[in-house]
Amino acid sequence: MTSTQIIFILILIVLSVVVAYFVIRHRLKHKVETITAFTGGLGSGKTLLSVDKALSLYRKNLRKWKRKKWFYHILHKDSLFNDEKPILLSNIPIRISKTEWSTKLKQEHLLLQERIPQKSVVLLDEIGAFASQFDYNQKNVVVVFDEFVRFFRHYVDGYIVTNDQCSENINLVIRRRINKITNLSNCLVILHMCFYFSRQINISEEIKTIDTVSNEKLNECDTQDNMNFSFKFVFNKKAYDSRCYSVRYDSVPSAEMPHFEQKKTHDLLKCPRDKEGVQQPLTK
């Protein structure tokens, strides 16, 4: 066998592997939901995976926009190309590149007072802070924000990525719009590898089930059983600050901190109930 034949066979093998890879990838590729939601406790990796997912979806839509613009340019029909350039909006700072940051997501966007460009991606970190389960009588939540979520695919045709510590924290009306939620636990990041336990929570009508062998009905807030080990490559772990809200705590005043002097104490910590003693939450 000549060297030319060997090179030809090697090239043929490489091409076959590449074709097989893309065929398998296409068949295994899951449909991306309009709303992607993650839940999990502190340090579970929900923000890390949310940012990674949002950046991935944003870059995918941006590539499509650039390809379409290039196609119109090749045909010398630039004047006919009027598609809006998609953007990434987020309520936490996300670094897209060395010179580009995400656009600040405002309440006006979520309440249909300011327009979002077509095919854009919205990252709403800690959605329960904006639409809490206790906001069941707030029209801005159950009417206006509900319309934003309900018709997001019609209005923007992009993606929403969100997270919270527990799906029960999210307003029920909004929670019903989320088909699937990924519940996370015990995240460990080594270099660019993210290892974690996860399970899929399906919300259908009034029933919430967790994908397991027996499809048991569980509450992700109360148990960590039936978790599946997962891992993925994450290249955007430095795109955001995992303690980005820490500056809010800077306004809390310092005070004297007395130490205990014996093993016994008669003091019980009680949250004040009277109006005069109620501390207002941080709002700035």
Residues in the chain: 284
Give the integer Cα–Cα distance in Å for 33 and 178: 9
197-214 per-residue burial string, b: 16 or more CB within 10 A, e: under 16:
bbbebebeeeebebeeee
Is pTM, for the whole model, over 0.85? no
Compute and round to an integer the Cα radius of gyration of the chain. Answer: 24
Q: What is the pLDDT along the chain (284 residues), one digit of tens a residue?
A: 778 888 888 888 888 888 877 766 655 555 788 999 999 999 899 999 999 999 999 999 999 999 999 999 999 999 999 999 999 999 999 999 999 999 999 999 999 999 999 999 999 999 999 999 999 899 999 999 999 999 999 999 999 999 999 999 999 999 999 988 999 998 989 888 899 999 988 876 666 676 654 445 555 555 455 788 888 888 888 899 999 999 999 989 999 999 999 999 988 988 887 766 666 777 65
